[in-house]
Amino acid sequence: MIQQKNLKEKDKVEPNSDKKHVWDKVNQWEEELLFLKSIIDKTELVETIKWGGPIYVYNKKNVIGIGGFKNYFAIWFLNGVFLKDKKKRLINAQEDKTKSMRQWRFTSKDEVNEKEVLEYIQEAIENEKQGKVIKPSKKEAIISELLENEMTQNPALKEGFAKFSPYKQYEFLEYIETAKQEKTKLSRIEKVIPMILANVGLNDKYR
């Protein structure tokens, strides 16, 4: 029993132990990730810890991150969509969530070509310096004939609505027009009229 207890205590990993690193989710890519870190350290990027792992920034802007997973370790480029990727190394691992991020996966240290990795990182840094980002797509304009009718009859309402930013106007219009039935739309208009006249945005209480 004593031997079994000692064995269990020996196998425990302390919270701050070097045996487990935040960048290695499965604790099997330590050597490989340290190699990637040594390459990144040759650039002007600064290491920070975000989202439970190392993220490298330029001028406080996220550029790349690294991590270890079950079947691979990887570098991800936060704005990798702008990289030329002549060697076809990158994939979009989160296509349903992001248009910008790209990932470069490795399954062994031998696959890491230091020169190529540095070229990709330097290009990512240059893109960041140039301010390349994907701009949010513009939302389609929404027209509410019912609200237009109300504003035609109530000049104060029209004047009050015009004082809102285009974004806040859009929130009102979206709220009204997402209702499927006309009576529901009219009910929503009645609800927002006092808010518009008081210069209170639809979602101001959440901001």
pLDDT value at residue 21: 54
pLDDT value at residue 99: 79
Sorted by where each starts, the structural domains of the chain and their CATH numbers stand as 9-129 (3.90.1150.200), 145-206 (no CATH)
Answer whether 114's CB lies under 8 Å from 127's CB.
Answer: no
Q: What is the pLDDT along the chain (207 residues), one digit of tens a residue?
A: 434 334 333 333 333 334 445 555 556 899 999 999 999 999 999 999 887 789 999 999 999 999 998 899 999 999 999 999 999 999 987 665 567 899 999 999 999 999 999 999 999 999 999 998 877 666 677 889 999 999 999 999 999 999 999 889 989 999 999 998 999 999 999 999 999 999 999 887 665
Question: What's the rounded Cα separation, in Å, for the pair 47 and 58?
Answer: 9
Distance of CA 29 to the CA centre of its chain: 25
Question: What's the rounded Cα separation, in Å, for the pair 34 and 80?
Answer: 22
pLDDT value at residue 6: 40
pLDDT value at residue 18: 40
Q: DSSP assignment of 35-84, as one string?
A: HHHHHHTTSS-EEEEETTEEEEEETTEEEEEEEE-SS-EEEEETTGGGS-
pLDDT value at residue 207: 58
β-sheet bridge partners, residue 105: 74
Cβ count near 118 (within 10 Å)? 14
Task: Write 199-207 long-range contacts (CB < 8 A, 24+).
Answer: 199/160, 199/163, 199/164, 201/164, 201/168, 201/171, 202/168, 202/171, 202/172, 202/175, 203/171
